[in-house]
Structure 1
Amino acid sequence: MLKSELRKLYKQKRQELTQLDIERLQDNLYQQIFNVAISDVKHIHIFLSLSRFKEIDTKPIINYFRNQNKQIVVSKSNFKTNTLSHFLLEEDSEIEINSYGIPEPVNAKPITEQELDLVFVPLLISDKRNYRVGYGKGFYDRFLSNCRNDVKKIGLNFFKPIAEISDVNEFDIALDDVIYPM
């Protein structure tokens, strides 16, 4: 299927999940995430969840890695350039909702893409080759293309990967792994 069709289908599938479904799926995801090898990781980039889109709640993930003495990094979105800038998320960091409804840090210390060791990537669906369908603006593909070659890229999803996304292009970046409920 084409990305546009998959985007529509999996947005709908996610909206159909009940709160009980989400809690069960998240518990499974959290157990897998908490087993990710992080001994050589210092900076972990993660997205701040959009509850209205029923995204995976990343607060427990942030708290877990913070308790492992890892530096948590989150992004601010620039919708004029479809790019992300990155900032340390300290325990006392203030979060504001931008005009697009996205939670973002305020007055936080900037971090470059080159400093990141592990990136958790939001997605709607992925395929067995670890390509992903996101919301369609290319923010994460641009961001990941600026990271070090050895940065670990892990997608988080409620749904099992499909066989193939048919319209993958040269700008799409495959993930190293996708974690989904088993």
Structure 2
Amino acid sequence: MKKREIRSFYLNERKNLSSQKLEQISIEAADCFFNNFDLKSVKCSHIFLSIPLQAEINTKYIIDRFWKSYPDIDISIPKTDRANLSIDSYYFTPTTVLEENPWKIPEPIDAQPTPHEVIDLVFLPMLAFDRRGYRVGYGKGFYDRFLATCREDVLKIGISCFPPTDPIEDVDQYDIPMNYCIVGKELYKF
């Protein structure tokens, strides 16, 4: 299938998940991440904040565990630059003030920018992914442009509600594959 069909199908599938199922998947994904990755070399992790209206994985379980168990790892979150269809990254602490942008995405206000070259790990939002590690997002390419500005060795980990699809037919040269994807208790490596 092509991205447009996959996007439409999985938007609908995700909206049909119960809130209990989504919370279960979110908690399992956090456990899967912390049980499978050695974080000794990670100094800064970029993670998206969930959009509740889109029934996204709830990343607060990962963020809270970073703050509690790995206080030496900096957390960074995205803020969209709508004019350039790009993402900037900002340090995120428990005292960071957030405000929803026009797409209802919580974003930091008056936070310190995170230089992209210091980011060691990026968590990627998505609607779906294939067995080669390519993902389908909302269709604007924000995260692929963001990843292109990060170090080549940045660890790219997706978090999804659903197992992989058949190969995405219309992958192009701008699509950047993930290294791993977490689906509940399952970890996929590419």
Would you say 1:81 and 2:84 are equivalent positions? yes
Alignment match, 1:98:
101
Structure 2 residue aligned with 1:30: 30
> Over residues 55-110 of structure 1, what are the superposed CA-to-partner deviations in whole Å (9 max), with x where a residue is unaligned?
01111111111221211000110112100111000221101111221100011011
Taking structure 1 as the reference length, what is the TM-score of the superposition? 0.97
Match of 2:182 among 165, 172, 179: 179
Q: Within 1, Cα distance between the matches of 2:176 and 2:160?
A: 16
Amino acid at match of 1:37: D
RMSD: 0.9
1:85 alignment partner AA:
D
Deviations 1:28-80 (A, max 9, x none): 21210122221100100000100000001111111111221211000110112
Gaps in structure 1 of 5+ consecutive residues: none
Match of 2:66 in 1: 65
1:45 aligns with 2:46: yes
Q: After the TM superposition, which segments of 4 or more aligned residues of structure 1 sit over 6 Å from their partners?
A: none
**Code of the aligned partner of 2:2:** L
Which is further off, 167-176 or 56-65?
56-65
Identical residues among aligned pairs (%): 39
Q: Distance in 1 between matches of 2:14 and 2:102?
A: 23
Q: CA deviation at 1:27?
A: 2.5
